[in-house]
Amino acid sequence: MAAKWLKDTIFYEIYPQSFKDSDGDGIGDINGIVQKLDYIKELGCNALWINPCYDSPFKDAGYDIRDYKKVAPRYGTNEDLFRLFDEAHKKGIRVLLDLVPGHTSEEHPWFLESQKVQKNEYSDRFIWTDYCFQGASGLPYIGGESERSACYILNFFKCQPALNYGFYKVTEPWQKSFRDPEAMATREAIKDIMRFWLSHGCDGFRVDMAASLVKNDDDKKTGTSAVWKDVRRMLDLEFPDAAMVSEWSNPPLALRAGYDMDFCLNEPGGGYSTLMRDYYNHGGSAHGDRNAEDHSYFKKDAGGDINRFLDQYLTWYEDTRDLGYISLLTCNHDTIRPSYTLDPRELKLAYAFLFTLPGVPFLYYGDEIGMRYLDVPTKEGGYFRTGSRTPMQWDGSANLGFSEGKTSDLYLPVDTSADAPTVEAQEADRDSLLNTVRAILAIRHREKDLQADADFQVICSENDKPLVYRRGSLLCVVNPTGGKLETILPADISETIHGEVIFKIGEASAGNGRIYTDAQSFAVIK
């Protein structure tokens, strides 16, 4: 069963490099996040996911960890992070850290020991073949770099050797079973890291590449799932309030393995999911081809069919609603920002839909003001992802209020366009994207029927009609088209509706068993 506090939770994802620089060195830091907690609270988010903020050579933006228990000096100290937990909790905000269990940095002391000829405690902490010319049959590997005459398996980039959780199907002499003591020792090491942060006040973890642990584990049901069930048992006993969200993109598997929430982002096996592609239509191309034909449902008159999204979503939802939550996100540090293809009005409708679905939603910093995907050179292994990682745009001051440091020292350049959106400008405009997001999050907190657990039923999702869905006793309607639409409600539904519009974007009304919507509108009806 998922942690109870998730019932009315909306997460805000912070890429710490780019959120707020408190000491003028050009890079965001923990104290900067503390300074902005009131902003996050007023926005309506009551939980954070912070990308890895640990000691690292930063060849993959911190997903290459050198010391799991130490805050990277560029972000501050462990004490700063403990204080962030405290300050956040005082304001009713929970904090998830990023757990990277599948790999370390090649500079992690475990790996430095592991690559030695002399047998030691860490020799089997990573996955090694048994000879320097013996490759790893199908798995990515590196040879020729270690003192030890063997090759090691990678989990992602070259800088990220895979930790050893064993193999489900053992097919080579050098492969160890996932039940072997060495694989168990890795599990214990990860639990130890979790205990460390949880006992200092963190509320749980976003788990990187959660499906990647046990190798040769095709269906993930027995091998990799066993690791997470084991972790869940530890949490239930020692930290029953802790929550975990997986980067797995298979809610039926992830939630059965003990996760509270699973992101729907990557299809198992990699690549961007059809789910997000149909939702925003830019995930299909990793490079975000702006000229590609755009079939996002929320794009005015693009003719997009929401059923491509709903078919997958409803199957997962029905299968998992008693187990935990599906987490949808506006985007994240690995994807193209939604403003790449959607204009502010289209974004309002897309977000209104996302934040009125069941489960636990995530908002990526800057998406609330429609920050743009920028064409910038790669930084710290970001490649095309770098364009979604630029500094938060707070106000019209130097560096858009992100940093008081020298512009030439900034971690990444800020948006220099004259109309770059900022929090300050949008706060002053009642109709801005920011104020609309605030209003949507506020109504979600006010109406239990819009929160994680309330029933969800699609009433009408035909492509030439608006999308109408029921949440508990409320009806929601989205008309993304450029024209007025009228929908006849099924009799059993119309009997339960008074017709009072309690929230709207654009114009909408209800009466006589019908819903009337203006072009590009959204409404919640009682």
Residues near ligand NOJ (CB under 6 A) are: 60, 63, 100, 156, 208-209, 247, 333-334
In contact, 232 and 123? CB cutoff 8 Å: no
Q: State which residue, 155 or 517, has the beta carbon closest to ligand NOJ.
A: 155
Rg (CA), the chain: 24
The residues facing 55 across adjacent strands are: 67
Q: In angstroms, what is the minimal distance from the CB of 189 to ligand NOJ?
A: 17
CB of 333 to ligand NOJ, least distance (A): 6
Please state the length of the chain. 526
Q: Closest distance between ligand NOJ and the C-beta of residue 157, in Å?
A: 7
- Closer residue to ligand NOJ in complex, CB, 248/516: 248
> What residue number has its CB nearest to ligand NOJ?
63
Shortest Å, Cβ 104 to ligand NOJ: 10
- Our CB check for ligand NOJ shows the closer of 59 and 295 to be 59
Cβ proximity to ligand NOJ: between 66 and 333 the closer is 333
Least Cβ distance, residue 526 to ligand NOJ (angstroms): 39
Cβ atoms 238, 230 nearer than 8 A: no
- Give the nearer residue to ligand NOJ in terms of CB position, either 346 or 380: 380
Contact present, 457 and 328 (Cβ < 8 Å): no
Q: In whole angstroms, how close is the CB of 266 to ligand NOJ at the nearest point? A: 8
Yes or no: say if 350 and 309 are a contact pair by the CB < 8 Å rule: no
CB of 227 to ligand NOJ, least distance (A): 17
Phi-psi label, residue 92: left if phi above 0, alpha if psi -120 to 50, beta otherwise:
left
Residue 63 or 355 having the CB closest to ligand NOJ = 63
Number of helices and strands in the chain (H, E): 13, 20
Nearest alpha carbon to residue 444 among 95, 45, 49: 45
Nearest alpha carbon to residue 286 among 414, 211, 386: 386
- 266, 272 contact by CB (below 8 A): yes
Q: How far apart are CA 264 and CA 258, in angstroms?
A: 16
